């Protein structure tokens, strides 16, 4: 079967949840036995989001192959249980970079290089290359931005051409729009949708299906009006109301018939959707038997998107333990040894987040110390793990002034230091240790128990690591190295003795947690926090050990 392409555009305003709609449609089509992937086209000029501030862009999602990508790829992986790669995220910066590189190489044979056809051809090539790479049945193409933006135009034009190139029957245009409720008039308004569809249609990509975000249900009259003025059938007006959990959206979209309309229109061979496991998960999220509170200590906490995958992985790990996870957001800038007990009172687990730069480091160190000395389950991720090592060095190994060279180049004890191959690098984009690497776990460790495997593979994004020159000293003082990269002998996981659950990981486990496969470390961390909450005393009996 030829690969079919579904283009998803957004109108009226940003933040309508296009990524979730794409991921939800993807989940429904996967549940019907189709081979699906999702691609995000981002109309900005950065080559990738790797150099962007988390306040600006939210989390940078890293794929197995080490691409630094948009956080929507996280939703695709979590919803569809697929693995994405560099090919799944294309930006205007990358497209121009590729075109200009070709121009310099003389590939265009003396032609004038222009937006049309050269930029649009490059965009189309990125889309079809992904479709052909694994012979997918369907590629869902999410076009970032809002219809009418100048910067989105080449993408819309490229998709218009692609409809022509691969045949109309092999493509579908879905437009996500807003149907606002005007309190003063007491009614839902369709005009913004009509305008948005008009703009899209002027670019030659008139929609086949409209997904209408709305705070109130769309009645028959409104649906009919939208259908009539936007040139779609009434069954193709799909309502998308606010949901309690994003994981409910696939089920709501199924109720509205989104997947059936797509199957019909693309004439796809599809079985009935198998959503048994998904429904069980949603049920656990909505009706937990218990609750636990985890402190998330980080410096970007005002902007929750900066920690998107961590938040979702906590939900997955919670569901596996029949527990709701409430997050207490703790701004690391404000934490110190005096107020830490107050700020972290009542939490059953402490997660120190990834990050860059020295702002908030002292607060993170106070949080680590508090977790370590009070037997509170602790999970340090990347920078969080590095903070755990620094805190241990200073307070348990007598290494006064120990630090990371990221924060103090002349520290007497650089327990965290540049990786040798990072020292000479000056370019910022795409130059960290990125992507998936192997890690060997040691017997008896919390990590080994959680994973139940000796070898694991996890994704990385960092420049610094535990300094092997000081590793022996740290271990002699009780630091447990429970995971090592076999190829380069890099420390990937640390733990400490005589603590119910204290795990720091140099990698980013949150990036691999999905609905169908919650991440074992998150599940184990939540389990430990539930033990803690229920008065788990520091008795180290095998039976009582959270794994």
Q: Which residues of 384-393 are buried (b: 16+ CB within 10 A; e: fewer)?
A: bbbbbbbbbb
User: Rounded to whole angstroms, what are the CA distances from 386 to 44, 185, 294, 379, 494?
Assistant: 33, 56, 20, 11, 9
Residue nearer to ligand GLN on the CB measure, 216 or 356: 356
Element (H, E) at 441: strand 433-441
Shortest distance, position 255 Cβ to ligand GLN, whole Å: 39
Grouping H, G, I as helix, E, B as strand and the rest as coil, residue 502 is: strand
Token digits for 419? 């990786």
Peptide bond into 219 cis (omega under 30): no
291 is catalytic: no
Distance, CA of 109 to CA of 122 (rounded, Å): 16
For ligand GLN, which residue of 156, 325, 371, 383 counts as binding (CB under 6 A)?
Answer: 383
Residue nearer to ligand GLN on the CB measure, 11 or 354: 354
Distance, CA of 246 to CA of 252 (rounded, Å): 10
Shortest distance, position 385 Cβ to ligand GLN, whole Å: 8
Q: By CB under 6 A, tell whether 382 contacts ligand GLN.
A: yes
Residue nearer to ligand GLN on the CB measure, 102 or 463: 463
Q: Find where tokens 């703009």 sit.
A: 199
Considering the candidates 460, 499, 508, 532, report the single residue annotated as catalytic.
508
Strand partners, 301: none
Q: By CB under 6 A, tell whether 491 contacts ligand GLN.
A: no
Q: By CB under 6 A, tell whether 335 contacts ligand GLN.
A: no
Q: By CB under 6 A, tell whether 61 contacts ligand GLN.
A: no
Tell me the site size for ligand GLN, rule CB under 6 A. Answer: 10
Instruction: Map residues 384-413 to x or -, x wherever contact with ligand GLN holds by CB under 6 A.
Output: ----------------------x-------
Q: For residue 139, give every residue at least 6 positions away whose Cβ sits within 8 Å of its Cβ, in sequence order, or none.
A: 3, 4, 5, 6, 36, 37, 38, 39, 127, 130, 131
Of 455-484, which residues contact ligand GLN (CB under 6 A)? Answer: 461-464
Residue nearer to ligand GLN on the CB measure, 79 or 464: 464
Of 339-368, which residues contact ligand GLN (CB under 6 A)? Answer: 354-356
75 is catalytic: no
Shortest distance, position 2 Cβ to ligand GLN, whole Å: 41
Shortest distance, position 499 Cβ to ligand GLN, whole Å: 22
382 is catalytic: yes
Q: Find where tokens 């110390």 sit.
A: 369
Grouping H, G, I as helix, E, B as strand and the rest as coil, residue 444 is: coil
Considering the candidates 22, 212, 230, 382, report the single residue annotated as catalytic.
382
Residues that bind ligand GLN (CB under 6 A): 354-356, 382-383, 406, 461-464
> Catalytic residue numbers?
382, 508, 510
């Amino acid at each position: 079967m030829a690969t079919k392409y579904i283009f998803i555009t957004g109108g009226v305003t940003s933040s309508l949840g296009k990524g979730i709609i794409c991921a939800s449609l993807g989940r429904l089509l996967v549940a019907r036995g189709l081979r699906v992937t999702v691609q995000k086209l981002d109309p900005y000029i950065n080559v990738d989001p790797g150099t962007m501030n988390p306040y600006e862009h939210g989390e940078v999602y890293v794929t197995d192959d080490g691409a630094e990508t948009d956080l929507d790829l996280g939703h695709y992986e979590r919803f569809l249980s697929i693995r994405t790669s560099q090919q799944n995220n294309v930006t205007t910066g990358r497209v121009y970079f590729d075109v200009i590189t070709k121009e310099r190489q003389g590939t265009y044979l003396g032609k004038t290089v222009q937006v049309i056809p050269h930029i649009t051809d490059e965009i189309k090539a990125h889309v079809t290359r992904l479709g052909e790479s694994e012979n997918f049945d369907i590629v869902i193409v999410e076009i970032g931005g809002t219809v009418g933006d100048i910067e989105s135009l080449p993408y819309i034009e490229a998709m218009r051409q692609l409809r022509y190139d691969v045949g109309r029957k092999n493509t579908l245009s879905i437009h996500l729009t807003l149907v606002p409720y005007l309190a003063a008039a007491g009614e839902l308004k369709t005009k913004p949708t009509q305008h948005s569809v008009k703009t899209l249609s002027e670019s030659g990509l008139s929609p086949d299906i409209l997904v209408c975000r709305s705070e109130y249900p769309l009645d028959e009259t409104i649906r009919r009006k939208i259908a009539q003025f936007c040139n779609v059938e009434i069954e193709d007006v799909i309502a998308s109301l606010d949901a309690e959990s994003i994981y409910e959206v696939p089920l709501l979209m199924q109720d509205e018939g989104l997947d059936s309309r797509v199957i019909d229109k693309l004439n796809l061979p599809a079985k009935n959707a198998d959503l048994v496991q998904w429904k069980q998960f949603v049920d656990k999220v909505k009706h937990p038997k218990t609750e636990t509170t985890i402190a998330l200590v980080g410096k970007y906490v005002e902007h929750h998107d900066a920690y998107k995958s961590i938040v979702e992985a906590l939900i997955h790990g919670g569901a596996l333990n029949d527990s709701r996870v409430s997050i207490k957001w703790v701004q690391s800038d404000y934490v110190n040894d005096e107020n830490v007990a107050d700020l972290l009172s009542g939490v059953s687990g402490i997660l120190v987040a990834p990050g860059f730069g020295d702002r908030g480091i002292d607060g993170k160190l106070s949080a680590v110390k508090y977790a370590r000395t009070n037997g509170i389950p602790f999970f340090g991720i990347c920078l969080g793990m590095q903070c755990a090592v620094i805190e241990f060095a200073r307070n348990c190994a007598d290494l006064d002034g120990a630090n990371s060279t990221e924060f103090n180049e002349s520290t007497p004890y650089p327990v965290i230091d540049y990786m040798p191959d990072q020292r000479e690098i000056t370019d910022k984009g795409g130059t960290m240790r990125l992507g998936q690497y192997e890690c060997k776990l040691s017997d008896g460790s919390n990590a080994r128990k959680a994973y139940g495997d000796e070898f694991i593979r996890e994704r990385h994004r960092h420049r610094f690591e535990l300094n092997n020159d000081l590793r022996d000293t740290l271990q002699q003082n009780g630091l447990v190295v429970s995971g090592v990269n076999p190829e380069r002998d890099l420390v990937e996981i640390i733990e400490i003795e005589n603590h119910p659950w204290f795990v720091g990981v140099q990698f980013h486990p949150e990036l691999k947690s999905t609905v169908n496969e919650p991440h074992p470390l998150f599940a184990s961390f939540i389990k430990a926090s539930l033990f803690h909450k229920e008065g788990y005393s520091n008795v180290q009996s095998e039976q009582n050990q959270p794994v």
